[in-house]
Structure 1
């Protein structure tokens, strides 16, 4: 009888300890989840994933795809999130999908390279220049002045802020419409256009190029536009 009671006592402790251990592990797992600092919608753009994993959510706790299995797949960005990872460091992750939407998830932005269609970007550039050239004389000169203000420390948000201030200060409705179009095109393609100008847009012959590190600098873009405005 004593042996039976002893066994039951040991079994009870094991069950209790097991439950406690399970709860401890659950808490530990939850504590390692990444936290969202901020989110942002992105203009749909093509990328290739060169490494890393796609996660099911911004907690980064469940891997759903290994990017190494999709070396030639084009992924499209939809939104971004700045996350604070379990180690305390912050990083930007993009939510991406392949063409048919079956392969999707959150991936660190550093594992993506941007695909740029050179001909399409040249067309976009010509549209921006055409809009600037058809502004009223005063507002065209105002845009030129803004572009001249951009130096090597200026960023895309700096340029967009200046264009917004100009748009809000005028009453010429046709010019407001054109400035809105200029704003949206620079917002969506400013980084890539700046890269193309910095690399020499006329020297880039391949139809599509891959860029690993885009930045927010706009000096090359501003100078390139100034050189082409009539």
Structure 2
């Protein structure tokens, strides 16, 4: 009898204080949500994936390919996305496709190695030099002055801003066209050209080289162009 009274008393307290005796304790899963903070288009460029996974979207909710299965596949990057994880960590992911477009997805940029065609980049340098050399004297000197302003801390946006300002300040239409061509080439390949100049572009004999890390500096690029301007 006393035992029955005790059980009823405990049950009554449980009901009174809202304690569900039959409900198991649950722990909410830690959020793995990814916030996409910025996206932008990229100039199509070849890469190799050295590790990691390709995801179906920049929110990284579903893995679609393991990069380890494609060690010799050339991927082409088309878009980038800056993301922030629930823990505050930030990263940049690239949207890539293989040649036929069947293997595609978003992969962390740190898992990609840029493939550089040395011969093609040398032609790019010659094109830029040719455009600079055929500018009117005043605007050629203006470009030279801009290149001379670039120091070891100068970045690609610094150089592009200066060149854009020059293009917007002149009235010579042929020069404007040439400057816009120069800006377009430097915008798409400036980091690569800076790397090649820093390594000695004329000393690089392999047709294709792989670069894991490209920085945003332009000092070597500026000096390399200055050395070649007539």
Relative to the length of structure 1, the TM-score reads: 0.88
Moved over 4 A (4+): none
Q: What SS class does the counterpart of residue 42 from structure 1 fall into? A: strand
Following TM superposition, by how much is the alpha carbon of 1:50 offset from its aligned partner in structure 2, in angstroms?
Answer: 0.2
Q: 1:177 to 1:61 in 2, by over 3 A?
A: same
1:86 Cα shift?
A: 2.9
Q: Within the alignment, does 1:47 sit opposite 2:43 as a pair? A: no
What is the match of residue 4 of structure 1? none
CA distance in 2, matches of 1:33, 1:51: 22
Change (3 A) 1:17 1:176: farther
Alpha-carbon deviation of 1:17?
Answer: 6.5
Show the counterpart of 2:7: none
User: For residue 126 of structure 2, what is the aligned residue in structure 1?
Assistant: 126
Structure 2 portions without partners, runs of 5+ = 1-19
CA distance, structure 2, for counterparts of residue 40 and residue 221 of structure 1? 24
Judged with a 3 Å threshold, the aligned counterparts in structure 2 of structure 1 residues 173 and 17 are, in CA distance, closer, same or farther, namely farther
Is residue 75 of structure 1 aligned with residue 71 of structure 2?
A: no
- 1:193 — aligned with what? 193
What 5-or-longer segments of structure 1 have no aligned partner? 1-12
The CA RMSD over aligned residues, in Å, is 1.7
The question of 1:224 aligning with 2:221 is answered no
Rounded to whole Å, the distance in 2 between the matches of 1:52 and 1:86 is 20
Note the 1:1-230 alignment, pairs <5 A: 28=29, 31-230=31-230
Distance (whole Å) between structure 2 residues aligned to residue 87 and residue 43 of structure 1: 31
Shift in Å at residue 59 of structure 1?
Answer: 1.2
Q: CA deviation at 1:210?
A: 0.1
Paired residue secondary structure (2:161): helix
Distance in 2 of aligned mates of 1:89 and 1:146:
37
Indicate the SS of the match to 1:209.
strand
Q: How much has 1:32 moved relative to structure 2?
A: 1.3
In the aligned structure 2, how far is the partner of 1:81 from the partner of 1:226? 34
Instruction: Please give the TM-score of this superposition, normalised by the length of structure 2.
Output: 0.88
Task: Please give the alpha-carbon distance, in whole angstroms, between the structure 1 residues aligned to 2:119 and 2:23.
Answer: 66
